[in-house]
Amino acid sequence: MTGAAPSPTRSRRPASVASLLADVRDVGRDPRRGGYSRFAYAPAELELRTWFEAEAARRSLDVVTDRNGILWAWRPGPGGSLDDAVVTGSHLDSVPGGGEFDGPLGVASAFAALDLLDARDVGGERPLAIVAFPEEEGGRFGRACLGSQLMTGEQDPDRVLGLLDADGTSLADALTGAGLDPVHLGRDEEALRRIGVFVELHVEQGRGLVDLDQPVAVASSILGHGRWRLTVTGEGNHAGATLMADRRDPMVAAAQVVVAVRDLASSRPDARATVGRLQPVPGGTNVIASRVDLWLDVRHPDDDVTRALVAQVLESAHAVCAAEGCAVELVEESYSGQVRFDAGLRDRLRGVLPDAPVLATGAGHDAGVLAAHVPSAMLFTRNPTGVSHSPEEHVDDADAEAGAAALADVLQDLLVP
Ligand code: HGY
Ligand code: MN
Ligand code: MN
Ligand code: MN
């Protein structure tokens, strides 16, 4: 690692967030779903990694892809030190048919904020790093925040290396294909020691800032959230040759489970429960499915309520399936509890950004995973549609720059030891 070389970018005009995002606007567009499908270690995300590395090189940052596939762009501290760094960034992957900003806004804002710090000639006293965590959405292998959970030891590599994507490619093979060695996944003490504080800027996934007419917010908490995969099994058969009375159709049972999820969650204030993915097997239009995979996403401020709600859903699923002559099994679950960001750090950010409201979020983030291990905080940038995980997600240019400027102010405050 080099020493804290004076960065040549100090003479360069700071890049705007809008121009940084414009450079990758066509990467990973999904014509079938609309929006973007940028899955971890697949071509579009690999192209975004190349963009990350180019932007880092432009700023003379040392780029490293670590043992968990996490991208780091380092500006070392005095004497080349990397410990107790100020780290900022987000993720590059998306949900299927996702928006342009969920993830990349935080990474682009980090580069733009660094440019603003350079223009102010700030910040050599402490190392600084820009980071991009892989598979935050779990869009390819089904595990949210996979990169940050591996780094913190919250995800056991042996339990995820065999996870398969929709094409049957394993995480191990996807890593190998991206030039990474799957053998080394796992808790990374060195990476955790280097993170003195982590700040993630993210598009707001809701209307809080719209309603408050503010461009930037400081995060207070993240809803606990989990994913459960159920398999409903019936009897596959011919759609035409099988009389209605002779059927054990798992799609009919699964459809009733979806409605039960809506009804059970609606009866509990603040609960959110979604079946966003329903996959019949074999999936032919003239075939009664033999099996249906159903993915459940449940969130609530109180972890006990989440668990009670999931138990109710499972109980209801068993009753519905028995009535339909089908069977149901819970085959997979992963859960991240409610996160409350460190109040001292949150208030320090509010001191830097006195006009910024404090907002909770229902969306999960890598910062939420890190918060249990290192001091972590989040900033949100206004999304005029309030919609996310959809092509409708948006950030106006002026708000994007306001977010980067707020991030720069926060980083400047944190960089002074
Ligand atoms: O699902 C979430 O809340 C996050 O966007 N991964
Ligand atoms: Mn995100
Ligand atoms: Mn997301
Ligand atoms: Mn997220």
Kindly report the CATH number assigned to the domain that includes residue 32.
Answer: 3.40.630.10
Q: Residue 183's closest CA among 165, 159, 158?
A: 158
Same domain, 208 and 65: yes
Q: How remote is the CA of residue 389 from the centroid of ligand 3, in Å? A: 6
Furthest-apart CA atoms within the chain: distance in Å: 78
Q: Which domain holds residue 387?
A: 17-223+338-415
Q: Candidates 93, 95, 222: which one to mutate for ligand 1, based on the most atoms within 8 Å of Cβ?
A: 95
Q: Report how far ligand 4's centroid is from the alpha carbon of 364 (Å).
A: 4
Tell me which of 94, 105, 221, 365 to substitute to probe ligand 1's pocket, judged by most ligand atoms within 8 Å of the beta carbon.
Answer: 365
CA of 106 from ligand 1 middle (Å) equals 14
- Report strand pairing: 85-91 vs 195-203: parallel
d(CA 175, CA 162): 11
Asked whether residue 170 falls in the same domain as residue 61, the answer is yes
Strand partners, 299: 225, 272
Q: Pick from 307, 336, 365: which residue ends a domain?
A: 336
Domain final position from 336, 369, 397? 336
- Local structure of residue 324 (DSSP, 8 states): T
DSSP string, 353-410: -TT--EEEESS--HHHHHTTTS-EEEEEE--TT---SSTT----HHHHHHHHHHHHHH
- The binding site comprises 91, 102, 137, 202, 227, 286, 299, 389
Per-residue model confidence (pLDDT) at position 4: 42
Ligand (nearest to CA of 367): 4
pLDDT of residue 124: 72
> Are 309 and 395 in a shared domain?
no
d(CA 221, CA 359): 7
In this structure, are 216 and 229 located in the same domain? no
What is the pLDDT at residue 155?
A: 95
Pocket of ligand 1 (CB under 6 A): 136-137, 144, 363-364
User: pLDDT tens, 297-336?
Assistant: 999 999 999 999 999 999 999 999 999 999 999 999 999 8
Q: Closest ligand 1 atom to the C-alpha of 363? A: 3
H/E element holding 302? Answer: none
Q: Which residues 6+ apart lie within 8 Å of 89 measured at CB?
A: 106, 107, 110, 129, 130, 131, 132, 133, 200
Q: In 3-state terms, what secondary structure has residue 56?
A: helix
User: What is the value of ipTM here, to two decimals?
Assistant: 0.88
Of 225, 298, 387, the one to substitute when testing ligand 1's pocket (max ligand atoms within 8 A of C-beta) is 225
Parallel, antiparallel, or unpaired for β 71-75 and 62-65?
antiparallel
Residue nearest atom 4 of ligand 1, based on CA coordinates: 364
For residue 210, give both structure tokens.
């719209």
Residues 153-210 pLDDT 10s: 999 999 999 999 999 999 999 999 999 988 899 999 999 999 999 999 999 999 999 9
- How big, in percent rounded to 5, are the helix, strand and coil portions of the chain? 35, 25, 40
Distance CA 49, CA 29 (A): 16
Q: Kindly give the distance from the C-alpha atom of residue 364 to the centroid of ligand 1, in angstroms, as a whole number.
A: 4
* Predicted TM-score of the model (pTM): 0.93
From CA 69, how far away is CA 184, in angstroms rounded?
10
For the chain, what is the domain count? 2
For residues 383 and 256, membership in a common domain is answered with: no
Q: Is the dihedral of CA 295, 300, 305, 307 positive or negative?
A: positive
pLDDT (0 to 100) of residue 80 = 93
- Secondary structure tally for the chain: helices H, strands E: 13, 15
Residues comprising the binding site for allantoate? 227, 286, 299
- Indicate if 351 and 325 belong to the same structural domain: no
Ligand 1, atom nearest to 137 Cα: 6
Helix (H) or strand (E) holding 35: none
Two tokens at 194? 């280097």
Are 295 and 328 in the same domain?
A: yes
- Do residue 45 and residue 146 come from a single domain? yes
Which of these three, 287, 302, 336, is where a domain ends? 336
Q: Do 218 and 247 share a structural domain?
A: no
In ligand 1, which atom is closest to the CA atom of 362? 3
83 in helix, strand or coil? coil
Q: Same domain for 147 and 242?
A: no
Residue 170 to residue 168: CA distance in whole angstroms: 6
Atom number, ligand 1, closest to the C-alpha of residue 299: 3
Single out the residue of 322, 338, 325, 256 nearest to residue 290, CA to CA: 325
pLDDT lower than 70: segments of the chain: 1-12, 417
